[in-house]
Structure 1
Amino acid sequence: MQQDLLISRLQAGDEKAFERIYFLYSESLYGIIYNIIRDEKVAEELLQDVFLKIWNNASSYDPKKGRFFTWVLNIARNASIDRLRSKDFKNSKGNLRSENFEDILVAQSNSIGKIDAIGLQKYLDRIGPVCKRLIDLLFFKGFTQKESAEELDIPLGTVKSRNRVCIDKLRAHIISP
């Protein structure tokens, strides 16, 4: 089924279209959510919440403002970051044993490998290591701009400027590969 038709059917409340959207996007969205949350059960629960948001807000999607995948990816990313920053989530992670820390740190530093699951790796390779690292921190690890500035040891204003430049570069490569 053509994507435009599928999306318009979703916006009209067609449950079969919603099932197809779930089938097409659930694996990629789960990858984004898990990469930020780092907890399988919470990621699975959050994936369901994300699809509920997609269903409830389908009418707000506007193809003139961007691709559908970008829209659902932003819903997943924002929901993941909100959950990560929530008090309940922080409290539930407060009792981690010390042997878990190494696995968490290694997994968070290795998110580049998971980016290819959503087809961005070939584009990220074209924009250079500085942009690749910044986009990884901001969009795939859920860092704020301030946290990214601290991680990269650069001024916050530089992070904001580079973010804009890097996103423009990435957009240019995706639009005209």
Structure 2
Amino acid sequence: MQQDGLILELQNGNQRAFERIYELYSESVYGIIFSIVNDQDIAEEILQDVFLKIWNNASSYNSSKGRFFTWILNIARNASIDQLRSKRHKNSQKNLTADNFVDILESKSNFSAQADAIGIQKYIDVLKPVCKKLIDLLFFKGFTQKETAEELDMPLGTVKTRNRACINSLRNMLAE
């Protein structure tokens, strides 16, 4: 079954179509979630929540607004960031051991593996260094634009403008 037919079947409530979509996308979705939350148990929990949202909100997907995989990744990214911003997560991070800080520091430099997990590494490789850094902070680490501006020591307006330009560059590459 082609992807468009599979999506239509999902939107019509076909459980087999949903199972097939889970088979096709769960590994990549888990990769993006894990790259944001950096915790296997939490990532697995979020993955289940994401696929529940996909099932419950399938009718809201509109192919004229973007690709299906992008729609799924946005759900996963938003769920992951929501988890990181939740009170429960913040409270669980209060008593971290030194080992956790080593993991956090190591994951900060693991952008390449994170991008490769969702299959866009070859596109990111040709981006300007500032675009790589912006995409890493905004999309893989879940920073807000304000936090990104502070991290990169640049004005918020510059972050917004450069982010828009970087995303447009990625879009153009994907369209080719």
TM-score, normalised relative to structure 2: 0.97
Identity %: 69
Q: Which residue of 1 aligns with 2:135?
A: 135
Deviations 1:30-68 (A, max 9, x none): 111111111110110010000000000000000000000
Map 1:9-158 to 2 at 5 A.
Answer: 9-158=9-158
- 2:30–2:47: 8 Å Cα contact kept in structure 1? yes
1:112: Cα distance to partner? 2.0
Per mean C-alpha deviation after superposition, the further-off stretch among 121-130 and 40-49 is: 121-130
1:117: Cα distance to partner? 2.0
Aligned-partner residue type, residue 132 of structure 1: K
Whole-angstrom CA distance in 2 between matches of 1:55 and 1:81: 20
Whole-angstrom CA distance in 2 between matches of 1:22 and 1:117: 16
Whole-angstrom CA distance in 2 between matches of 1:40 and 1:3: 29
- 2:114–2:140: 8 Å Cα contact kept in structure 1? no
Whole-angstrom CA distance in 2 between matches of 1:110 and 1:20: 30
Whole-angstrom CA distance in 2 between matches of 1:13 and 1:137: 36
- 1:112–1:136: 8 Å Cα contact kept in structure 2? no
1:92: Cα distance to partner? 1.1
Whole-angstrom CA distance in 1 between matches of 2:151 and 2:138: 11
Per mean C-alpha deviation after superposition, the further-off stretch among 111-120 and 165-174 is: 111-120
Where does structure 2 lack aligned partners over 5 or more consecutive residues? Answer: none
Across the two proteins, how many residue pairs are aligned to each other?
Answer: 176
Corresponding position: 1:159 with 2:159: yes
- 1:111–1:141: 8 Å Cα contact kept in structure 2? no
Whole-angstrom CA distance in 2 between matches of 1:66 and 1:171: 11
Whole-angstrom CA distance in 2 between matches of 1:20 and 1:99: 38
RMSD: 0.9
Structure 1 residue ranges (4+ consecutive) displaced by more than 3 angstroms after TM superposition: none
Whole-angstrom CA distance in 2 between matches of 1:42 and 1:99: 18
Whole-angstrom CA distance in 1 between matches of 2:172 and 2:159: 20
1:100: Cα distance to partner? 1.9
Whole-angstrom CA distance in 2 between matches of 1:17 and 1:105: 40
Aligned-partner residue type, residue 161 of structure 1: T
Whole-angstrom CA distance in 2 between matches of 1:25 and 1:99: 31
Where does structure 1 lack aligned partners over 5 or more consecutive residues? Answer: none
1:114: Cα distance to partner? 2.2
- 1:34–1:43: 8 Å Cα contact kept in structure 2? yes
Deviations 1:100-129 (A, max 9, x none): 201121113212222112111111112211
